[in-house]
Amino acid sequence: MIVFVHGLRNWGAVEEYVAAIARELRDRGERVAILHPDDPVLEPFASLGGEPYDLDARLLTLRLARRLRTLRPSVVHVTDVFPQALVAARLARAPRVIVTHHTPELPRSDNLAGRTWQRLGWAMRPQVVYTSETDRRTDSRALRTHVVPLGIELERFARGRATLEGRIVGNVARLAEQKGHRDLLAAALRVLEQHPDVRFVVAGDGELRDELEALAAPLGDRFVFLGARDDVPDLLASFDVFAFPSRFEGLCLAVIEAQAAGVPVVATPVGGIPENVVEGETGFLVPPRDVRALAERISWCLAHPEEAARLAEEARRRVLERFSTERMVAETLALYGIS
């Protein structure tokens, strides 16, 4: 039996990763359980062996250990760094404990208790899966490490149909400080001086939405926030440039999705992004927080659409070779000893 222990209360790339692997395991007749926080957003796990638990419960680690001991899994896969789950898996004497570390660059501000849990979790010596070679090289915390890049539904992004008119610089990201939207706004002012017909479009929602909309108000319809969208492939097909000035990342699926859709990419060299955005070959890299460089590269792509398209096509070719969901699932199952 394979048991996933999940500790996040949202639905995004990490949750899609868990669901894809669990779905394949169930299709193969393997026994699967997903222990996850009791939150409506995680309802899709219900059909895949989901078992909700109270993330805020007292003695959470002992409760998780008790449930794992009952399930008797051959593998416990902790799907992001969740120290209490790692300790619980060892207390339950699981034969193998694996953790996927999605965002090693994530800045932490733990209190004493949090730091203690972090040290204790890593002391459990799990096998660690990174989603990029860059993350493994810069963060490796264990003797047994693996790299399994995430996968996407490649055909879904190849089938996108443009729904927006005009020349568009686009971005798809959660509206959080990490994603660098203030830098994108500042760069837009410079770009619009040279390309006044361009529109900047941001898809995504988050805690900074009101603040960012207020900052963008002077630009009127030249800078628009669309909110959360479920038609991202069609939006990407509408973009002339994908601008992603993030300050830290893991593998970064947003960039890979843009490349799969054939959009020229200007991004920052953080996390695993440089493995996919190779300067001058598959896109352009600019330093984080460098508004001037960001604006110059966006402007170059707009002024040289044929050259930018050639880079985007090479990026698309490489992504199609490396980032299928099927490859991700097969490599993960191999770690479990399932062929």
The rounded average pLDDT for each run of 10 residues, N- to C-terminus, in the chain (339 residues) is: 96 92 96 97 97 95 98 97 97 97 83 91 94 87 86 92 95 96 98 98 96 97 96 97 95 95 97 94 98 98 98 96 94 93
Helix (H, G, I), strand (E, B) or coil at 4: strand
Do 328 and 159 contact (CB within 8 A), yes or no? no
Q: Which residues contact 243 (CB under 8 A, 6 or more apart)?
A: 169, 170, 171, 184, 187, 200, 266, 267, 294, 298
- Per-residue model confidence as pLDDT tens digits over 220-253: 999 999 999 999 999 999 999 999 999 999 889 9
Instruction: Indicate whether 111 and 246 sit together in one domain.
Output: no
Whether 44 and 167 share a structural domain = no
Per-residue CA distances from 319 to 18, 152, 243, 309 (Å): 21, 10, 18, 15
**242 shares a domain with 120:** no
In Å, how far from its chain's centre is CA 166?
Answer: 29
Whether the CB-CB separation of 132 and 251 falls below 8 Å is answered with: yes
Token match 């894809």: residue? 20
CA nearest 50: which of 5, 10, 95?
A: 5
- The tokens for 61 are 């680690």
Q: Are residues 126 and 237 in the same domain?
A: no
Domain count along the chain:
2
191 and 137 in a single domain? The answer is no
**One domain for residues 189 and 141:** no
The DSSP letter of residue 40 is G
Could you tell me the CATH number of the domain that includes residue 31?
A: 3.40.50.2000
Q: Are 315 and 259 spatial neighbours (Cβ–Cβ below 8 Å)?
A: yes
Pairwise CA distance, residues 239 & 246, whole Å: 18
Query: How far, CA to CA in Å, does 196 sit from each of 50, 233, 258?
Result: 51, 26, 24
User: Are 189 and 313 in a shared domain?
Assistant: yes
Containing H/E element for 210?
A: helix 209-216
Both 41 and 16 in one domain: the answer is yes
Same domain for 302 and 172? yes
User: Could you tell me if 316 and 167 lie in one domain?
Assistant: yes
165 and 276 assigned to the same domain? yes
Report d(CA 239, CA 260) in Å as an integer: 13
**What does the pLDDT read at residue 250?**
85
Q: Which residue has the tokens 């199609």?
A: 320
Q: Are residues 297 and 329 in the same domain?
A: no
| Residue numbers of the domain that contains 17 | 2-151+324-336
Q: What is the pLDDT of residues 89-103, one digit of tens each?
A: 999 999 999 999 998
